[in-house]
Amino acid sequence: MGQYNDICQPDKSTFWRDPRLYQIASLSILLLYGLFWLDFDISIWQIVVTLGVAQLIQYAATRYFNLPVFDPKSALISSLSLCLLLRTNDLPVAAFAALIAIGSKFVIRWNNKHVFNPTNLALVVLLSSGLGWISPGQWGQVAWFGFLIACLGSLVVTRAARADVTLAFLTFYVGLLFARALWLGDPLTIPLHQIESGALLIFAFFMISDPKTTPDSRIGRNVYALLIALTALYVQFGLFKPNGPLWGLIACSPFVPLLDRMFPGARYDWSKPTTGHVSVSVPLSLSLQPQRRFS
């Protein structure tokens, strides 16, 4: 039971400090905006099936592994992300995606952490099998909508103490895109167009920043972000495959245990968001009193 203590949080006193609540609100707003203003190519039934199956798998796994409390928040985040990114014509495929995403958290684990980001794993499996696709053009080129995603994402990653990995990835990825354009003599409008993607922002702010699949230390997360950016660009321009960041994340996720070993840091706790820097504080009442010897 103890190995799954990151999946459910029975302490109700820390409920409102949980960053996942803000992530759920942000993803819900983005999904509603996409449905009613951007005419997303997704049916209400696909949304219902994705959300419903995710909760059923979460509940079944909670019972199977004898966890003390059923916690729907993590499953809701993964299923909302699937609704925003995954496109398919078949409801069973949407259900299968939810099964992969939620089931992987309980099955594919290492050192009390799930190895793969649930949404990322489900998307890669379906994309590689041809059962689904991602429509980057569904977001349009509206600058203020991208700003909305960035603002909501910033709120999420800041509260989750993982803004550093998001900013590091965007810095490396965008910087390398512009460096490539300058090296090839391409106009800068090309990399500008390449980063005008709502899917890229959602990846950066809501997927790569997952505290339970990123390295524990800040330096480890910076190295992680660089590896993902390099892999994403290789997939995009070397293998000529779309959705490079998704493939980069799935390829680099197994290296997180190694990075945690090379650059150790404090393990993340949803109730007490931390950047991973281990610090020791001295209570004020003790620091103001003279030292005493005890025999």
Q: Is residue 290 part of a domain?
A: no
pTM of the model: 0.81
53 inside domain? yes
In the chain (295 residues long), the average pLDDT of successive 10-residue segments reads 46 63 84 84 93 96 89 92 92 96 92 88 94 78 62 68 87 96 93 83 85 90 96 95 93 94 78 50 39 37
Q: How far apart are CA 232 and CA 238, in angstroms?
A: 10
CB 102 within 8 A of CB 58: yes
As given in the structure block, the two tokens for residue 189 are 């409008």
> What confidence score (pLDDT) does residue 206 get?
83
Domain-located, residue 293: no
- The two tokens of residue 191 are 């990399």
What's residue 176's pLDDT? 96
For residue 231, is it within any domain?
A: yes
Query: In this structure, is residue 183 part of a structural domain?
Result: yes
In CATH, what number is assigned to the domain containing residue 183? 1.10.3430
Angle separating helix axes 73-85 and 118-129, nearest 10 degrees: 40
- Listed in sequence order, the residues at least 6 apart from 71 whose beta carbon sits closer than 8 Å to its beta carbon are 7, 8, 9, 58, 62
- Does residue 33 form part of some domain? yes
214 φ/ψ angles, rounded to the nearest 5 degrees = -95, 160
Rounded to whole angstroms, the Cα distance separating 102 from 117 reads 10
Please report, for residues 45, 215, 277, the alpha-carbon distance to residue 77 in angstroms, rounded to integers and kept in the order given.
18, 20, 26
Number of structural domains in the chain: 1
Q: Beta strand pairing status for 113-114 and 109-110? A: antiparallel
- Residue 58: which residues within 8 A CB-CB, separation 6 or more? 70, 71, 72, 74, 75, 102
Which structural domain range is residue 136 located in?
A: 2-277
pLDDT attached to residue 30: 84
- What is the per-residue burial (b if ≥16 Cβ within 10 Å, else e) of 264-293? ebeebebeebbbbeeeeeeeeeeeeeeeee
As a whole number of angstroms, the longest Cα–Cα distance in the chain is 75
Q: Has residue 244 been placed in a domain? A: yes
**Cα→Cα distances 278→6, 132, 164, 216, 262, Å:** 19, 42, 16, 10, 15
pLDDT at 27: 86
Residue 37 domain-assigned?
A: yes
